[in-house]
Amino acid sequence: MRMVFRWFGEGNDLISLEHIKQIPGVEGIVWALHDVPAGEAWPLSRIHEVKTEADRLGLTIDVVESVNIHEDIKLGLSTRDEYIENYKKTIERLAQVGVKVICYNFMPVFDWTRTDLFKELDDGSTALFFEKAKLENTDPIELVKQIAENSTLTMPGWEPERLKDLSKLFELYKDVTEENLWSNLQYFLEQIIPVAREHDIKMAIHPDDPPFSVFGLPRIMTNHQNIARFLELVDDPYNGLTICSGSLGANLENNVSEMVRAFSERIHFAHLRNVKTYGNGDFIETSHRSSDGTVDLLSIVKALHDSGFEGYARPDHGRHIWGEECRPGYGLYDRALGIMYLWGIWDALEMKKERSLT
């Protein structure tokens, strides 16, 4: 397992590369050019700027999250080919600086959805919260306004540039079914995967967050059956997965450790976090410790270890603790604690393996 840590870039993150360098076991950053609109090719000069910054502290830039997919591709519009060509150019340019994995998603309109950015937990910390009833009774445009007003930093998947035309997007999606979305995803993959293979970059799709329909929008990367279907759309090692324990774990019917064992050969990236899910469909993000939520991270990490996982992993969302001012879900402190919990599990499994061989 190769541990990496998400960084949003110079001037767009309260966490510095120096902070990240000091977390034990972290070898690189997970990054993106968040100000480049979806559909545009990433400028090579900007890519080199990130590499120069990371090289300064001996951090790798192997994992990009995310090269956002333009909505015209998801919608299957006639304009999609020009955006796919730009995506190919970005893959080619990222390969020039040694990028190995691109994490992306195929969620219509919203990359992720929460109703409260700073819900207080029993211990006094705060975390991202999803209240199903509130979502069902809130206009999506009004929700975006509420979210934007509660964060001073841009949030991945909720960039103003992407969400400024919500009314138009919802109109475009009103007749799009899950089968339409499957067809449009296959078209994208058939164009992109050969380019990814040529440049030795593995594509790793992220599951839907949460793994069910929101605001009536279709969602397809939601469960074991759909992930299996996805991998068959283009049966190629470069067409792979980002396994996200928190996204998939928001549905109590999903057994994430079983998914890890079933799809281990196609998992290129792992997002490891915990959520506490309630019977009414609500969920809140917790510390990474298995006993604090309903996601058994211990079993998931063991499944990765047993499968011989050598890919990249990062601590996903954490709580906001000790008065830290940070981007919702992306504080330094709780994610650093999460890394040490994950390494503790991994190291114990390694020790057990070594002792069994002697």
Q: Is 236 a catalytic residue?
A: no
Q: How far is residue 273's CA from residue 285's CA, in Å, rounded to a whole number?
A: 8
Known catalytic residue at 111: no
Helix (H, G, I), strand (E, B) or coil at 202: strand
Query: Which burial class, exposed, middle or buried, applies to 90 when counting CB atoms under 10 A from its CB (0-12, 13-18, 19+)?
Result: buried
55 is catalytic: no
Q: Which residues of 254-270 are buried (b: 16+ CB within 10 A; e: fewer)?
A: bbbbebbebbbebbbbb
Tell me whether residue 296 is one of the annotated catalytic residues: no
Q: Is 244 labeled as catalytic in the residue annotation? A: yes
Q: What is the 3-state secondary structure (H, E, C) of 98-153?
A: CCCEEEECCCCCCCECCCEEEEECCCCCEEEEECHHHHHCCCHHHHHHHHHHCCCC
CA 38 vs CA 56, 90, 140, 232: distances in Å: 29, 11, 20, 26
**Spacing of C-alpha 311 from chain mean position:** 15
d(CA 273, CA 296): 10
Residue 317 is among the residues annotated as catalytic for this protein: yes
Helix (H, G, I), strand (E, B) or coil at 28: strand
SS3 per-residue string spanning 39-99: CCCCCHHHHHHHHHHHHHCCCEEEEEECCCCCHHHHHCCCCHHHHHHHHHHHHHHHHCCCC
Catalytic residue among 70, 103, 173, 206: 206
Contact 319, 3 (CB under 8 A): no
Catalytic residue among 173, 238, 330, 333: 330
Catalytic residue, from 116, 244, 333, 341: name it: 244
User: Structure tokens of 187?
Assistant: 């078209």
Catalytic, out of 316, 320, 334, 341: 316
Which residues are part of the catalytic machinery? Answer: 206, 244, 271, 316-317, 330
